Amino acid sequence: MSPSYCGRIAPTPTGYLHLGHARTFWIAMERAREAGGTLIYRDEDIDPQRCLPEYAQSAIDDLRWFGCDWDEGPDVNGPHAPYRQSQRMDRFLQAWEHLKKGGYIYPCDKSRKDVSRAAQAPHADDDAEPIYPESWRPALGAGRTAKEPGATNWRFRVPNDREIIFDDVRLGPCEFECLRDFGDFLVWRKDGVPAYELAVVVDDNAMGITEVVRGEDLLISTARQLLIYEALGLTPPQFYHTPLMCDSSGLRLAKRHRSLSLRELREAGHSPEALRHSDDWWSGLED
């Protein structure tokens, strides 16, 4: 890594952060500090139905309490403001326009439930991601005359017979096969906001992020996003996927685990120092 390193902490304010989030963000901070680089805090509040200001502020407060700090963000001056995705819609619309003109995306009236039902054929793998049926795709060029996304979903047309291969900084070579491991995916939602895959690509590029640190559960998102980087003519950052933190039953931590939220742990009298140095905290972490 070099002094030009730029990382980011990017919570989604749909609930209180849990210990797994804290571990990932702590690793992101440490990697930025070890590189002598910059760390940006970005509030990914793109979903107006689920993202609440109270959760956005609690994330900042709880991470400060935990010991995390950053160089740029909602409460720190810096050249990349604004740091809230909800204030960056013009950039996302420009990316949508580029993808539409290039024929990379198309309008889609199918819901997530429709895709799940279609994938429930007798031969389907129960553990596999539901794949959008190729037979549902419109002809090439569909939607190119649209002036705006409108009240419909837009999907990225995943190429046939293509493998997405990338080197993860921690895990090494990772490989996904298009239309087997994932199919056509959302880049714009019918409620008028960009999907996660598009928003993070646009923001990470605009903010000069050189390494994305996030959980292993987002490995397949990286494969999708590499297709978007390519379609937009952008250079992707490096990726470092952290091990997931699980509860005592082996389930991955989620925001529904209130007892392991930073807010609850803080109120229960736990110290950030003890949490950072517990054996469970570093379980499974590899250099």
Q: Find how far residue 158's CA is from the centre of its chain.
A: 19
Per DSSP, the residues of 254-285 read: -TT-GGGBHHHHHHTT--HHHHHT-HHHHTT-
Task: Return d(Cα 164, Cα 274) in angstroms, integer.
Answer: 40
Determine whether 255 is an active site residue: yes
Report the 10 Å Cβ neighbour count for 97: 14
What's phi and psi for 106, nearest 5 deg? -150, 155
Nearest 10 degrees: Cα torsion 236, 237, 240, 241: -40
Task: Return d(Cα 276, Cα 266) in angstroms, integer.
Answer: 13
Based on C-alpha coordinates, what's the Rg of the chain?
19
Is 29 in contact with 69 (CB distance < 8 Å)? yes
Q: Which residues are catalytic?
A: 255
